[in-house]
């Protein structure tokens, strides 16, 4: 059996990041998203990461919405990357509290899950999430999208599709960092600049995820392009001890936008 993904360092890092930046706060829009008690290390999720971004910078979430992706491609690897980015959009839209946009995005998620052969297993959960959004049950919905992400990865591993599970997480975190770096660029907040990469540990975990892909995947053109982008971003932040510069922030955001856009671009034959 393949080992589980290296979540521990990433989750520990998110907890530390929240403390270093002054603590995490709940989403201001809609209603408080978490219980009164501070989340434990084991509870850290992409939703918590965006809470951290919201606590340190004025984020205009709706401006970060994007058009729906193309019809799911036949390339399951690229489809997995796009699906991961759509899951990141679920967390983004949750922050914005936009029920219609959430339901629209969930339809795209379902289309990509069907392409993975998991539509029948995940459709009840995705339909329930759409109803929660429609009813403004945001607190419960938060837990549902977190659990839904984990269920999707579990189902893929049970099918021995470990590469696809890794690619979904890569797509998710690349899109999340594109979102966070865009917020930092827009606000110009110096203290929020480290959020461009979440933290050095998060960036390293993304590199580790990439390296866990099979050698066959590493030979594919899009995967090579993603690997190059990850290394270029890592180089930008390697050895940073003083405050990150505006140039680091801008270049990181540009590189993340470029690679996330590449996921949905028409691939040459």
DSSP one-letter string for 170-193: HHHHHHHHHHHHHHHHHH--STTG
Q: Residue 267 has what pLDDT?
A: 67
Whether the Cβ atoms of residue 15 and residue 41 lie closer than 8 Å to each other: yes
- The span from the CA of 143 to the CA of 7, in Å, is 18
- CB-side neighbour CA atoms (13 Å) of 3: 7
DSSP one-letter string for 112-160: HHHHTT-HHHHHHHHHHHHHHHHTT-HHHHHHHHHHHHHHHHHHHHHTT
Cβ neighbours of residue 246 under 8 Å, at least 6 residues apart?
Answer: none
Q: Residue 16 has what pLDDT?
A: 42
- CB-side neighbour CA atoms (13 Å) of 39: 26
Q: Which residues of the chain have pLDDT under 50?
A: 1-9, 11-43, 269
Cβ neighbours of residue 40 under 8 Å, at least 6 residues apart?
Answer: 15
Q: Exposure of 215 by Cβ count < 10 A (0-12 exposed, 13-18 middle, 19+ buried)?
A: exposed
Q: Residue 43 has what pLDDT?
A: 43
- CB-side neighbour CA atoms (13 Å) of 73: 17
Question: Both tokens of residue 84?
Answer: 């991961």
Instruction: Please name which of 47, 46, 85, 45 lies closest in space to residue 66, comparing C-alpha atoms.
Output: 85
Q: Residue 1 has what pLDDT?
A: 43
Question: Both tokens of residue 43?
Answer: 């509870």
First-to-last alpha carbon distance for the chain, in angstroms, is 35
Cβ neighbours of residue 268 under 8 Å, at least 6 residues apart?
Answer: none
Q: Residue 186 has what pLDDT?
A: 94
- What pTM value is reported for the model? 0.85
């Amino acid at each position: 059996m393949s080992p589980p993904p290296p979540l521990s360092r990433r989750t520990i890092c998110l907890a530390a990041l929240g403390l270093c930046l002054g603590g995490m706060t709940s989403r201001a829009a809609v209603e408080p998203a978490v219980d009164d008690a501070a989340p434990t290390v084991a509870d850290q999720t992409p939703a918590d990461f965006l809470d951290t971004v919201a606590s340190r910078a004025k984020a205009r979430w709706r401006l970060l919405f994007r058009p729906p992706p193309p019809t799911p491609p036949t390339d399951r690897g690229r489809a997995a990357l796009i699906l991961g980015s759509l899951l990141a959009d679920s967390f983004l839209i949750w922050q914005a509290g936009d029920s219609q946009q959430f339901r629209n995005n969930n339809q795209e998620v379902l289309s990509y899950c069907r392409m993975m052969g998991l539509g029948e297993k995940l459709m009840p959960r995705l339909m329930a999430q759409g109803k929660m959004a429609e009813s403004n049950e945001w607190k419960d919905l938060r837990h549902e999208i977190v659990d839904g992400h984990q269920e999707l990865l579990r189902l893929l591993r049970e099918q021995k599709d470990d590469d696809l599970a890794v690619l979904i997480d890569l797509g998710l975190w690349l899109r999340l960092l594109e979102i966070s770096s865009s917020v930092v660029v827009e606000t110009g907040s110096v203290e929020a600049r480290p959020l461009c990469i979440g933290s050095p540990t998060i960036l390293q975990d993304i590199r580790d995820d990439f390296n866990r892909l099979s050698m066959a995947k590493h030979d594919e053109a899009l995967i090579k392009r993603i690997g190059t982008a990850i290394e270029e971003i890592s180089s930008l932040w390697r050895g940073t001890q003083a405050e990150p510069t505006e140039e680091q922030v801008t270049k990181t955001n540009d590189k993340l936008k470029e690679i996330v856009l590449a996921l949905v671009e028409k691939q040459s034959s």
